[in-house]
A and B are shown apart, each in its own frame.
Chain A
Amino acid sequence: MGWDPTLWALAGWLLLALLVLTIIGELLEQVLPIGRGNRLFKNINDRIKAWWIMAILLVGALALGKGGVLVLFLFISFAALREFLSLTNTRLADSWALASAFFFVLPVQFLAVAMDWPGILSMFIPVYAFMFMPMLTALRGEPHSFLIRVAETQWSLMVSVFCVSHLPALMNLTIEGFEGRAALLILFFITVVQGSDTIQYIWGAQFGRRKVAPQLSPSKTVEGLVAGTVGAAVLAGLIFWITPFTWWQAALLGAAIFLMGFFGSLVMAAIKRDRGIREWGPLMMAQGGVTDRLDTAIFSAPIFYYLVQFFWGA
């Protein structure tokens, strides 16, 4: 990692591509008559703005090496956990469990990434934290909606900490012939997630007829789902050369990443609907909170990690 020349060439291309996209996007929205007040173009331009932030943060973190990437995702994870727990039914009796989620579970999970302890990475939250946190809550002796409160806290950790931590953990994978370049997997993953979600959105908005789950999300359609799957496979196949995969392996992984992301974000939409909110939080302009930007990556990150580990891991 660090000063890998491929990484730098890629970072340069990435920023150039964003610049081109920004210019085209602004031209379409501001200059051409069809673009004025067009919600589709507005949404795309908002996405591009968020990509700038992501690209700058990610490239900056990669430049600092593993430590930089870890700190970046630690902050993201913290912000996501805060957004998630803010919406739960937790009460005074949960305060020990909540404090331990923030000040113990979260740091330990990222310590596992830092120290490259794969066993702890995959077990610490679903085994240890899931058993000890309800104990802490039970000790406070408040039975009212106990199971709901415990489940909410566990889910918060699963989504915001466990899933998110698997993104920086990609750097720890040792793949034959790909030593020291695993950081490229993060770039591959995020490019596929963001690109395919946008394809899905545009296609769905233009040609979408059949909604996948009309009560949960008006913008998720069967047509978008198909276009996104194909788009993810093509996009991933096109950039296979930055990964240890062959083109068809990359395409299959791309499709898997998209499908997990698509249905994962449906899950997140269901949670938002239930809580009566449109967005998770206030962090990024016009695009809601951290969790809103992450929702497609959240469910696919661990799946991508474990697929690569299983088939390619040394």
Chain B
Amino acid sequence: MKKIAAEIVSIALQLLIRALTAVRGIWVGGEPEDKPRIYYANHTSNGDFVLIWTSLPSEIRRKTRPVAAADYWFKSKTRRFAVEEVFNAVLIDRNAENRKEGEDPVTLMTQALQQGQSLIIFPEGKRNQTEEKLLEFRTGLYHFLHNNPGVEAIPTWIENLNRVLPKGTLLPIPLICTVTFGAPVTLGKRESKRKFLKRAHDELLKLAEMQDRGRV
């Protein structure tokens, strides 16, 4: 029963997103590949991962799980259903003190990866509501790749969704959104945390600049 409901909600949601945003995924740095990867994206709206998820090819979408904050998504039953059944998210506790043994984010994410699943993360750690294009990254992405050497991180730039769902308005505004997937980034053998995070950050910003110049 739950499975069927989740499937229906998932299809309805994708139709809605496509009707509103005509979203398309643009692969500028390689092809979509059906293997465990980690997509890291800019975060401006609560709909971000739904948009990425919709723009992925369906075989890949089925094996791709967003990493989400448990406290936000457990606030209501609807949210809980969406995040657990529809998106099959990897839920993490943002408060480190509440975490039980084996529940730290990197461990949970690694488990998913080992089951052949891909992940979507927002390394800024929170929604960006400033004028700045991209906030500084938290360190999770580095730790995850450090634990899982060789895994490809795909920079993913989401354009326009913050205008579709502006804060404080009831109705979404139909505007075209794009999701640009860049070339895979992997952690170098001796690369330091600071260096790597800066490089990953720059790669994502590059995609944003390509968008701005109308190259995509």
How would you classify the secondary structure of chain B's contact residues: helix, strand, loop or mixed? Answer: loop
> Which chain A positions have C-beta within 8 A of B160?
86
Q: Say yes or no: A86 contacts B175, CB within 8 Å.
A: yes
Q: Say yes or no: A277 contacts B24, CB within 8 Å.
A: no
| Chain A, 62-113, CB within 8 A of any chain B CB | 78-79, 81-83, 85-86, 90-92, 95-96, 98-99, 102-103
> Which chain A positions have C-beta within 8 A of B126?
none
Alpha-carbon distance A13/B176, docked complex (angstroms): 37
How would you classify the secondary structure of chain A's contact residues: helix, strand, loop or mixed? Answer: helix
Name the residue on A nearest B215 (C-beta). Answer: A276
> Which chain B positions have C-beta within 8 A of A283?
22
Q: Say yes or no: B22 contacts A281, CB within 8 Å.
A: yes
Q: Say yes or no: B176 contacts A276, CB within 8 Å.
A: no
Q: Say yes or no: B214 contacts A275, CB within 8 Å.
A: yes
| A267-286 Cβ-contact flags toward B at 8 Å (1 or 0) | 00000000111100111000
| Chain B, 181-211, CB within 8 A of any chain A CB | none
Q: Say yes or no: B169 contacts A99, CB within 8 Å.
A: yes
Alpha-carbon distance A282/B24, docked complex (angstroms): 8
> Which chain B positions have C-beta within 8 A of A92?
166-168
Alpha-carbon distance A283/B176, docked complex (angstroms): 11
> Which chain B positions have C-beta within 8 A of A90?
163
> Which chain A positions have C-beta within 8 A of B169?
95-96, 99
Q: Say yes or no: B22 contacts A78, CB within 8 Å.
A: no
- Closest Cβ–Cβ distance, residue A81 to chain B (whole Å): 8
The answer, yes or no, to whether B213 is at the interface (CB within 8 Å) is yes
| Chain B, 146-194, CB within 8 A of any chain A CB | 160, 163, 166-169, 171, 173-176
Alpha-carbon distance A82/B163, docked complex (angstroms): 12
Alpha-carbon distance A5/B214, docked complex (angstroms): 48
- Closest Cβ–Cβ distance, residue A142 to chain B (whole Å): 12
Q: Say yes or no: B173 contacts A95, CB within 8 Å.
A: yes
> Which chain B positions have C-beta within 8 A of A103?
171
Q: Say yes or no: B173 contacts A98, CB within 8 Å.
A: yes
Name the residue on A nearest B176 (C-beta). Answer: A86
- Closest Cβ–Cβ distance, residue A82 to chain B (whole Å): 5
- Closest Cβ–Cβ distance, residue A138 to chain B (whole Å): 17
Alpha-carbon distance A239/B205, docked complex (angstroms): 55
The 8 Å CB contact of A95, one of B166, B174, B176, is B166
Alpha-carbon distance A275/B213, docked complex (angstroms): 9
Q: Say yes or no: A276 contacts B22, CB within 8 Å.
A: no
Q: Say yes or no: B176 contacts A282, CB within 8 Å.
A: yes
| Chain B, 94-114, CB within 8 A of any chain A CB | none
> Which chain A positions have C-beta within 8 A of B171?
99, 102-103
> Which chain B positions have C-beta within 8 A of A282?
22, 24, 176
The 8 Å CB contact of B214, one of A81, A95, A98, A276, is A276
> Which chain A positions have C-beta within 8 A of B176?
82-83, 86, 281-282
Alpha-carbon distance A78/B174, docked complex (angstroms): 9
Q: Say yes or no: A102 contacts B174, CB within 8 Å.
A: yes
> Which chain A positions have C-beta within 8 A of B213?
276
Whether A99 touches B22, Cβ cut-off 8 Å, given contacts A92-B166, A276-B213, A277-B214, is no
- Closest Cβ–Cβ distance, residue B19 to chain A (whole Å): 9
- Closest Cβ–Cβ distance, residue B130 to chain A (whole Å): 13
Alpha-carbon distance A283/B175, docked complex (angstroms): 13
> Which chain A positions have C-beta within 8 A of B24?
282
| Chain A, 257-314, CB within 8 A of any chain B CB | 275-278, 281-283
> Which chain B positions have C-beta within 8 A of A276?
213-214
Name the residue on A nearest B23 (C-beta). Answer: A282
Name the residue on A nearest B26 (C-beta). Answer: A282
| B12-34 Cβ-contact flags toward A at 8 Å (1 or 0) | 00000000001010000000000
Which A-B residue pairs are the 4 nearest by beta carbons? A276-B214, A86-B176, A95-B166, A95-B169
Interface residues of A (CB under 8 A from B): 78-79, 81-83, 85-86, 90-92, 95-96, 98-99, 102-103, 275-278, 281-283
